[in-house]
Amino acid sequence: MTATVSETTIDAPVDVRFTAAGTPLAVRYDGRVWAVAAEPLRWFTRDSWWETQRTVPVGVGNVVDVEHWRLQVRLGASTSALRTFKLRRDPLTEQWLLESITDN
């Protein structure tokens, strides 16, 4: 018997609360707070600046690294089923986007 995994693409803005060490602690999405329930995974990709042709003043800093987090979350402190949130923050913005949700 195989388990069914369903992934939904979202691309919606979310609020993320971080620990003092910079690790995600909770995500506010759709009026609910989802608590991080397992060790999160962080990685970076590169913005395709040659396609967007984004220009910025000299000295602005890193404008090509896109930050990603994969989080196992559940509603509040409940024992609800785990879901996987994939988050993304593009360079030059502080806004986090919920890229997708996977139901396990």
Predicted confidence band at 47 (pLDDT cuts at 50, 70, 90)?
confident
* pTM: predicted TM-score of the whole model, two decimal places: 0.83
Residue 47: how many CB atoms within 10 A of its CB? 16
Please give the Cα distance from 14 to 57 (Å, whole number). 28
pLDDT at 97: 97
**Higher confidence at residue 12 or residue 90?**
12
Residue 36: how many CB atoms within 10 A of its CB? 21
| Residue type, position 68, single letter | H
pLDDT for 58 beyond 60: yes
pLDDT for 70 beyond 80: yes
pLDDT for 42 beyond 80: yes
pLDDT at 79: 80
Residue 52: phi and psi, rounded to 5, are -80, -25
DSSP E strand stretches across the chain: 6-18, 24-29, 32-36, 41-46, 65-75, 83-89, 96-103
